[in-house]
Every structure is written in structure tokens, then in C-alpha cells.
Amino acid sequence: MKTLKPKLFEVMKGYTGKQLVKDVIAGIIVAIVALPLSIALAIASGVAPECGLYTAIIAGFFISFAGGSRVQIGGPTAAFVTIIYGIVQTNGMDGLIVATIMAGIILIIMGIFHFGSLIKYIPYTITTGFTCGIGVSLLVGQIKDFLGLKLSAVPSEFIQKIIAYGKNINSVHITTLLIGLLAIAILVILPKITDKIPASLVAIIITTLVVKLANLPVATIGSVYGELSSKLPMPQIPNVSFDMIRNLISPAFTIALLAGIESLLSAVVSDGMIGDKHNSNAELVGQGLGNIFSGLFGGIPATGAIARTATNVKNGGRTPIAGMVHSITLLAILLLLMPYAALIPMTTLAAVLIIVAWNMCNWSTFFNLIKTSPKSDIIVLVGTFFLTVIFDLVVAIEVGVVVSALLFMKRMSDTSEIKSWKYIEEPDVTDGEAEKLMSISKEIRVFEISGPMFFAASEHLADINSKKYTKVIVIRMRAVPAIDASAMHALHDLTDRLEKKGIQVVFSHVNEQPMKVMQKEGLYDKLGADNFQPDIVAALNYAETLLK
């Protein structure tokens, strides 16, 4: 259980008042950055604006309190928007709460069983593909509010959205579009002038004042969603059925996987910024608790947010106290200032998310991978991207992982080979090849296996054959690190086939893992210990004695 110890308990030893001041300041600044993003992401996900703040407050607190990173800031992120929207459309808010709690439980189980280090085995092409796909989906989802289109409802499917936009393009509201463009201009230009002030907050304040003071006919959060709640809800258990759980298993796993990948990636990035090392398994447990309590309080899925975590570090945050202060600050804003959020123009929030989506896509990395990667990786990258955009994230990750695994097995199979050796009396000799000086009888054939022998490579064993005069076959396995049950079955078939022909099989230099499998599967006892020699010289000498 030591590996699950929250980072908070480690860093509090020697904690000083000076660091407390830095953490409080950093936490307040991060809360200001998180405020507009939390509201915007909730709206984009198809839930009430308050849900984004509930998530940042509740999940953010528990992720900092129980997580494995010193500086991680948790909350809603753009990665979840498309999958949340799909769940809400098909299963309602109760379905989303159930999926969020289930994802939290899965994350805790992953942490307890030390799956933290396994997340890194998700191929980079998959994470890049679905991240770009999410960015495109998120950007397209903002077009209605950014242009002020008169649409009663936006379809959840990408192609249907494009068709709906095309049919209603004549309903563009020019005033709304101009306010959105003003917000975009602020979001793009201000960071080039200074990074001390959150551009999203400035864009929201300026555009809200313009719309309010000029009494412009622009849709706001209040005009669309009505009065906003300024209270933190009491925890509640949603209506749950077995069918709902069964239907939400796959989305819950996807949420858990996304939360694990993004949070650990954020933790790695922040480690490099502060010179620390996070505890990946404790981080997964913290993420799990954050999502469980977020769901119970009516929030949405949460994970570590890279941009908010970087903001925390840049402003002096060095312990989980900063993340907890960020949550408490957002709670104060919810209780005291939430009614004013109703004045924020919808087009401004759309503009904020358009910039977030554009930054998510990271096209330079995407196209560089296409230029430099093998064809198999390009297939996974592009396939994951299009599946994310056209279908959904669940399908994209499932297909991407399966295809990556199949292509990996194909590559591993291609690296495995079996070569027939021929010894001559006077070859050119280099260091380590003294065994080639040996002259062997034509009745002995030598085959060398290279690479791991698993089910995709076991067919290579069919290349081991005999000639009419063959009496002994030596199989050299010094370059075989591992063998699985399928290859072991093929070896049994091979030895049986050769035995029927009266040919003896001798193994040379069998490594530790293959030897254990051979002993367990009975091949070692079947052939006898003498037929397993430590090196090729001993194996050839033994083969010569068999001929005599």
C-alpha cells in the first residue's frame, strides 16, 4: 500500500509558511483560468453550465488530495466532450453519472493493481490520432453558438452536424459572429503580449460588457439555460439498472483510459518542470476518487489538465495544497458570483473552445508522423483520427488498440526467422565463431531460430525439415528470448514428426523462459536432459556421439 500513498502526505514534511503563500496564490490564479473553461466544457458536453464547476471543485479537490503528483490540477477537459455528449444523448444525465462513477472505480482498480506503468504502452499514434480527432469534433461542435445559427438541436454525429450547419448557414447572426471574432482576436493576440493575465478571462469580461452595455441581441448563458444555481448540490445516487450498467461498460472503460492517459501525461510533463517524480498508481487512485465524487455531486468526468497544471507550476505551486486552494476558490465563486455567469455570451464560450480545440489538434505533430512513420503506424494514426471524428471515441480506441496489436504481432513475426546452417572446414573466422571450424557429418542438420516464438511466428517452425540421409537435427535457440503455448505446440508436433522419421532432435542454448516452458509442457522430459546442450559446440559433439 506504500505505492498508493498520496503525494500530499509526503510533501507536508518540512512544509513552510512561505510555500503556503505561493501555493495559495497559484491556486487562486489557476481557479481564474479554470472558471471559463469549466463552464464552456460543460456546455459543449451537453450538460448544465454548473456541472463544469461542480467537477472542477469536487474532482479537482480529491485529485490533489489523494493523487500521486505534487502539482496536478484536476477538472473537466476537452478530451471528454465528445464521449460525454454521446452518453447524455443516449442515456441522459443519470447515465453520465453512472458512467463517471464506474470509470472512477475502474481507475482505482487500475491503481491498486499497479497498472500505472502499463498506460505508457498505448501507442503514440493512437493518442495523437484520437487527440486530433477530439479537437476536430470539439471545434465543429462550436459552430452553432459561434455563428449564432438558428438550430433547435445539434445532431451528435459529425456528418449530420455538417449537414445541419449547411442547411442553416443562411441563419448566421452577424452580431453574434462579430462578438465571437472579437473574442478570438483577444484569445490569439493577448498571449503574445503577456502571459500574466488569462486571455480567456479577459475575452469573457470584455465581450460580456460589450453585449450588456450595448444591449446587443446576442445569446447568453442565461438566455439559453435560464437562472444558474449558486449552490453545491447534495450527493445523490442515480437510478441504476443492470441494462444501463451493461450499456455503459464500454464508455466507462474509455473514460477511465482517457483519464489515466491524460493525467499521467500531465504528471510526466509537470515532473520535468519541477524536477520531481510522480507516483503513477497513487495518481490513478486519486483520479478514481475524483471521478466517483464528481459523479455523486452531479459533475462530469475529470482528469489532470495539462494547461492548468503548467499554470500552477509557473505561478509557484509546488504541493497539492495549490490544487486544493484552486477548488476552494472555485467553490467561493460558485456561491458568490455564479449569477453573473449568466451574462456571458455563448459565442464567447464557443470562441474559447475553438482555440482549445485548435491547440489540441497539434497538426505539426500529426503530419510529421505521417511523413516519417512506417505505413503500419500511419494506418493506426489516420484510422484512429477518422474513427474518432466520424463515429466516436469508444470505437476509435477499441479499433486502434486491436489494429496496433495485430500490426505489432506482424512486425514481431517478421523479425523471427529460422536459418539452416552449413559448416565448412576452413571458413573465415572472427572472434566468437570458433565453432565454425568444426566439420560435421552431412547426417547432421543445424537450424538457428532468431526472435521470440509466439503464435504469430510459430509457423516458421515448418521451415525445419530433413533430407533423406538426416539422422540428427540440432536446433540452436540462443536468440529466442521467449516462447508461448502456440509455438510450444508447434515444437511438440515437430519433434513427433521427426521422431516418426527416426530423426533425433537436440536443442542448443535454450534460454531461461523457453526452458521453463519446455519443462512445464513435458518436452524436456520427453526428449531427455542429454538432448538439451548448453551451447552449439556441445550440441554438435553430442550429435556426433548419437551417430556412432
- Series of mean pLDDT values for 10-residue runs along the chain (548 residues): 82 90 95 93 93 96 96 94 91 94 96 82 83 89 92 81 91 96 96 87 94 95 89 86 92 92 88 90 96 96 93 93 96 92 93 90 89 88 90 77 79 77 52 53 87 78 80 92 90 91 93 94 92 89 88
pLDDT for position 127: 83
Query: What is the C-alpha separation between 268 and 278, in angstroms, rounded?
Result: 7
Give one DSSP letter per residue of 452-495, joined into a string: -B-TTTGGGGGG----TT--EEEEEEEE---B-HHHHHHHHHHH
How far apart are alpha carbons 326 and 196 in whole angstroms?
Answer: 17
CA distances from 49 to 46, 99, 154, 184 (A): 9, 19, 17, 21
Give one DSSP letter per residue of 90-140, joined into a string: HHHHHHHHHHHHHHHHHHHHHHHTT-GGGGGGS-HHHHHHHHHHHHHHHHH
Place of cell 466516436: 392
How far is 39 from 229, CA to CA, in rounded Å?
13
d(CA 513, CA 274): 41
8 A C-beta contact, residue 274 and residue 318: yes
CA atoms within 13 A on the CB side of 94: 10
Architecture of domain 417-547: 2-Layer Sandwich (3.30)
What is the grid cell recorded at 464? 525445419
In a 3-state reduction of DSSP, which class is residue 508?
strand
According to DSSP, the residues that pair with 418 across neighbouring strands are 449
The grid coordinates of residue 222 equal 442565461
Residue with cell 511466428: 457
Residue 78's contacts (CB-CB under 8 Å, 6 or more residues apart) are 41, 44, 134, 135, 138, 353, 356, 357, 360
**Rounded to the nearest 10 degrees, what angle do helices 306-314 and 320-341 cross at?**
110
What pLDDT shows up at residue 415? 72
Residue 413: closest CA among 508, 496, 486, 493: 486
Q: Give the span between the Cα atoms of 304 and 260, in whole angstroms.
A: 9
Distance of alpha carbon 366 from alpha carbon 363, whole angstroms: 5
| Residues in the chain, overall count | 548
pLDDT at res. 84 = 94
**Number of CB atoms found within 10 A of residue 418's CB:** 18
Say whether 279 sits in a helix, a strand or coil: coil
Look up residue 125 and give its three cell numbers. 499514434
- State the virtual CA torsion across 377, 378, 380, 383 in degrees, nearest 10: 180
Extended beta strands in 28-103, E state: 74-75
Cβ 272 vs Cβ 69: under 8 Å: no
DSSP code of residue 220: B
Locate the domains of the chain by residue range: 16-370, 417-547
Give the containing element (helix H, strand E) for 433. Answer: none
Residue 1: partners with Cβ closer than 8 Å, 6 or more residues away: none
143 neighbors 165 (Cβ within 8 angstroms): yes
Task: Look up residue 9 and give its three cell numbers.
Answer: 502526505
Geometric angle at alpha carbon 57, from 55 and 62, rounded to 5°: 90
Give the C-alpha separation, 442 to 257, whole Å.
57
Q: Which of 19, 15, 39, 16 is nearest to 27 (CA)?
A: 19
- Note the Cα 40 to chain centre separation in Å: 23
pLDDT of the residue at 413: 72
- The pLDDT of residue 207 is 96
- For residue 437, what pLDDT is reported? 45
Q: What is the pLDDT of residue 121?
A: 73
Alpha carbons 126 and 133: distance in angstroms, whole number = 10
Q: How far apart are CA 79 and CA 130, in angstroms?
A: 9
Rounded CA separation 243/101 (Å): 16
Q: Is the dihedral of CA 308, 1, 257, 87 positive or negative?
A: negative
Q: At residue 421, what are phi and psi to the nearest 5 degrees?
A: -100, 145
Query: Residue for cell digits 513475426?
Result: 413
Q: Is there a contact between 444 and 471 (Cβ–Cβ < 8 Å)? A: yes
- Residues linked to residue 483 through DSSP beta bridges, in sequence order: 453
